[in-house]
Amino acid sequence: MIDAYRRKLDILARRNGPVLLDILTYRYSGHSPSDASSYRSKEEVEAWQEEDSIAAFGKQLIEGGAATRKDLDDTSKAVQALIFDLFKLAIDETVSPRMDLAADPEKIGRMIFSNGSVDSMSAAKPEVLHPMSENPRVKQIAGKERFITDKDGKPVSKMKQYQLRDGIFEAIVDRFYKDASLVAYGEENRDWGGAFAVYRGLTEALPYHRLFNSPISEASIVGTAIGYAMCGGRVIPEIMYCDFLGRCGDEVFNQMPKWQAMSGNVIKMPVVLRVSVGSKYGAQHSQDWTSLVAHIPGLKVVFPVTPYDAKGLMNSALQGTDPVIYFESQRIYEIGEQFHEGGVPEGYYEIPFGEPDVKRAGSDVTILTIGSTLYTALKAADRMQEKYGIGAEVIDARSLVPFNYETVLKSVKKTGKIMLASDANARGSFLNELARNITELAFDDLDAPPVVVGSRNWITPCYELEDAFFPQPDWFIDAYHEKIAPIAGHVPTRNFTDAEQVRRAKEGV
């Protein structure tokens, strides 16, 4: 092995790489207790045992005078004794008690999340390149208007407007100056400021080992983040496009959400995975996969779409000790704050996970949104009020896991009707989970079934055709007209009839 690596390194040193080292290994035992190894002969196994690398190395140590047979036997006995001691600890009821789910049915549920609140995962002083007050981006943001209108009620220009990306930046830079363990990395995170300019200004503030560019390998990005967190650090990995969650599927779906509970909450997983949901880039770069991660127990999932919420929820994520999937929409990085009175606070604040927020009051129908569809729903609410006198109460979910239904149920009790919307494909979306639970919890208050307004069950088309794919303001009105109550004088532009719903399902679209 040493010789093989030496030869490969020589090729690399002469800049003739990359190189591939193909290593053949052998496993004596079967894949599992049910594997009887009937596919290989006794002679085959014995032949490989003759080439056992551990035995061969031991033989070389003895021949070279570096060890005696007794030394090797003693080492083997010590290792076996250590493993046996660990085995005894594992079956010791006082050290490793068995769960009694009959006596405590919710015990596993309490181990899914640690729900900790920690300013810093390290006692060390954070390494930075200059005081935060000297950072050019921090200075620039300090001069921005933190609401979309000035004190006279006039719209603020884009150049002077505090944006959603600024809210995320403020939360992250603040934590970098508090927590020495915090690192962030992903594709194009350093120098360029991130693909969507969220990290602009961090390069000047942080040494390379705290903020750096990764290879284009999503599995490595998330996998190393999990390992770093298991060793006691806090980390912000980034997946540039939501569509590439599949490239790190095992890490996101099978590792990050489960180690806390599997360890009995001994291990903490303070990983905040930033995931950007795209548009304008077609079938493989414009998908909303919130439903996939919301389906996996052990992940907290948030999707803020206002600057105030973006900063507050990122602060909460970075204060916590649980894995968080933090979705961002590429549609609205430049949007300003238009809901929180007084704009986005300059100081530190947290928004608790799981609390939906009423963005506009109304009395006739509730519209619950996930992601940037909030702004589409607000346009729909304007048209419904102005043209038909229907007052829509618009609620932004903000968080998918956890989710507090009380705010929504209170609204439905008032309106008797609810529509749910997001940019995710309607089939299998988290909207259906919300709709089902609302049907059960608010059955006596509903005058009509909940209506889901999601994207078409197509691949995402090119930018010029997106209006036919993602929910549009008129879709809300059409869906209300067809599924909730007829609107006098309204002529639908999209078909939301039951017959069309059945036809599309039969076609798989």
pLDDT of residue 59: 93
Query: What whole-number distance in Å separates Cα of residue 336 and Cα of residue 148?
Result: 5
Phi, psi of 131 (to 5 degrees): -60, 150
- Which residue reads 């078409």 in tokens? 456
pLDDT of residue 151: 85
Across residues 313-325, what is the average pLDDT?
Answer: 98
Of 164-178, 256-270, 407-421, the least confident: 256-270
Model confidence pLDDT, tens digit, residues 71-103: 999 999 999 999 999 999 999 998 888 889 999
Cis peptide before 131 (omega within 30 of 0): no
pLDDT higher than 90, residue 420? yes
Query: What whole-number distance in Å separates Cα of residue 376 and Cα of residue 127?
Result: 43
Domains of the chain in start order, with CATH, are 2-30+42-91 (no CATH), 132-332 (3.40.50.970), 357-507 (3.40.50.920)
Mean pLDDT of the chain: 95
pTM to 2 decimal places: 0.90
- Which residue reads 């959603």 in tokens? 164
List beta partners, residue 394: 360, 367
pLDDT of residue 414: 98
pLDDT band, very low/low/confident/very high, at 281 (cuts 50, 70, 90): confident
pLDDT of residue 28: 84
CA 232 to chain centre: 20
Across residues 3-30, what is the average pLDDT?
Answer: 91
Amino acid at 340: H
Output the furthest CA–CA distance in the chain (Å, rounded). 97
pLDDT band, very low/low/confident/very high, at 146 (cuts 50, 70, 90): very high
Across residues 155-165, what is the average pLDDT?
Answer: 94
Amino acid at 285: H
284-294 as b/e, with b when 16 or more CB fall inside 10 Å?
ebbbbbbbbbb
Across residues 460-473, what is the average pLDDT?
Answer: 94
Phi-psi region of 342 (alpha: psi -120 to 50; beta: other; left: phi over 0): left
Percent of the chain residues topping a pLDDT of 70 = 100
pLDDT of residue 35: 85
pLDDT band, very low/low/confident/very high, at 47 (cuts 50, 70, 90): very high
Residue 226: Cβ within 10 Å count: 21
| E strands, 218-334, in order | 235-239, 272-277, 300-302, 324-329
pLDDT higher than 90, residue 192? no
List beta partners, residue 325: 273, 301
Look at residues 168, 377, 375 and name the one whose alpha carbon lies nearest to residue 276: 168
Instruction: List % helix, strand, coil for the chain (3-state, nearest 5).
Output: 40, 15, 45
pLDDT of residue 30: 82
Look at residues 428, 430, 427, 423 and name the one whose alpha carbon lies nearest to residue 286: 423
Residue 465: Cβ within 10 Å count: 11
Query: What whole-number distance in Å separates Cα of residue 401 and Cα of residue 298?
Result: 9
Cβ-contact 189, 332 below 8 angstroms: no
Query: What whole-number distance in Å separates Cα of residue 87 and Cα of residue 51?
Result: 30
Residue among 285, 340, 481, 490 flagged as catalytic: 285
Query: What whole-number distance in Å separates Cα of residue 25 and Cα of residue 369?
Result: 53
Phi-psi region of 257 (alpha: psi -120 to 50; beta: other; left: phi over 0): alpha
Half-sphere exposure of 420 (CA within 13 A, CB side): 23
Q: How far is CA 383 from CA 390, 436, 450, 482, in A?
A: 9, 28, 20, 17
pLDDT of residue 104: 94
pLDDT of residue 494: 85
pLDDT band, very low/low/confident/very high, at 422 (cuts 50, 70, 90): very high
Model confidence pLDDT, tens digit, residues 342-396: 999 999 999 999 999 999 999 999 999 999 999 999 999 999 999 999 999 999 9
pLDDT higher than 90, residue 25? no
Look at residues 258, 288, 259 and name the one whose alpha carbon lies nearest to residue 373: 288
Which residues are CB-neighbours of 129 under 8 A, at least 6 positions away? Answer: 204, 205, 206, 207
Element (H, E) at 308: helix 307-319
Which residues are CB-neighbours of 230 under 8 A, at least 6 positions away? Answer: 259, 267, 269
Query: What whole-number distance in Å separates Cα of residue 397 and Cα of residue 417?
Result: 17
Question: Is position 285 annotated as part of the catalytic site?
Answer: yes
Half-sphere exposure of 31 (CA within 13 A, CB side): 4
Model confidence pLDDT, tens digit, residues 196-208: 999 999 999 999 9
- Which residue reads 């060890």 in tokens? 67
pLDDT higher than 90, residue 280? no
pLDDT higher than 90, residue 152? no
Query: Radius of gyration (Cα) for the chain, nearest Å?
Result: 28
Residue 448: Cβ within 10 Å count: 14
Amino acid at 70: K
Query: What whole-number distance in Å separates Cα of residue 106 and Cα of residue 103?
Result: 9
Q: Does 28 or 334 have the greater pLDDT score?
A: 334
pLDDT of residue 53: 87
Cβ-contact 257, 299 below 8 angstroms: yes
Residue 279: Cβ within 10 Å count: 20
Across residues 259-272, what is the average pLDDT?
Answer: 94
Query: What whole-number distance in Å separates Cα of residue 329 and Cα of residue 360?
Result: 21
Across residues 415-440, what is the average pLDDT?
Answer: 97
Of 39-53, 129-143, 242-256, 471-485, the least confident: 39-53
Cβ-contact 392, 381 below 8 angstroms: yes
